[in-house]
């Protein structure tokens, strides 16, 4: 325990591998009309066939945003898991969140844990809910397993009737006013 905060560790060996494969979820698609101008089904339509890619979608997200979204979802799961614990034993999400962000950033950068096949990119982890949920589940389990039990904030046990510490003052307010010369 450091300065009254619980220590978190990520058990990196338990973080599972996530493969983003464009053969499962294509990242580029060639568009074509289904019917010919006369109304019959068309095997190939007239004119140029436009190509739709994920380039515009990928440009909207930075890896840092992906890491924060993954960490946010890990923190939400953490809060749900902590809901049944005693208030003193439960670790608040704000103490765990920086560790979750660091783990998510490492996960996105580690090509042995996040395998991007073809021209896939790490930001594609947000593209499909299954990818994002797999990453969140893996990071949550690794963070939970890495957390040391018994690292919650320790509270002192003061027996009933115990004398107050020497630093406490128990001078009534009327006596303290006379001692300072105030009336």
pLDDT in tens, 73-127: 999 998 888 776 665 556 777 888 899 999 999 999 999 999 999 989 999 999 8
Tell me the C-alpha distance between 36 and 38, whole Å. 5
Each domain of the chain, given as residue ranges in start order, spans 12-30+51-146
d(CA 77, CA 70): 11
Helix boundaries (H) for the chain: 55-59, 63-82, 93-109, 129-146, 173-179
Q: How far apart are CA 135 and CA 133, in angstroms?
A: 5
Residue 123 CB burial class (10 angstroms; 0-12, 13-18, ≥19): buried
pLDDT winner (highest mean) among 1-15, 46-60, 147-161, 165-179: 46-60
């Amino acid at each position: 325990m450091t300065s009254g905060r619980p220590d978190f560790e990520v058990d990196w060996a338990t973080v599972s591998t996530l493969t983003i494969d464009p053969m499962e979820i294509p990242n580029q698609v060639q568009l074509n009309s289904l019917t010919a101008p006369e109304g019959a089904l068309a095997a190939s339509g007239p004119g140029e066939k436009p190509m739709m890619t994920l380039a515009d979608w990928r440009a909207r997200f930075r890896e840092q945003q992906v890491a924060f979204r993954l960490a946010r979802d890990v923190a939400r799961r953490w809060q749900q898991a902590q809901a049944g614990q005693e208030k003193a034993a439960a670790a608040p999400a704000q103490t765990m969140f920086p560790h979750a962000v660091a783990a998510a950033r490492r996960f996105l950068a580690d090509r042995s844990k996040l395998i991007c096949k073809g021209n896939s990119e790490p930001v594609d982890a947000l593209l499909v809910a299954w990818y994002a949920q797999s990453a969140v589940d893996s990071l949550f389990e690794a963070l939970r397993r890495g957390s040391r039990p018994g690292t919650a904030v320790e509270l002192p046990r003061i027996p009933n009737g115990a004398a107050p510490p020497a630093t406490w003052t128990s001078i009534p307010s009327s006596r303290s006013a006379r001692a300072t010369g105030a009336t």
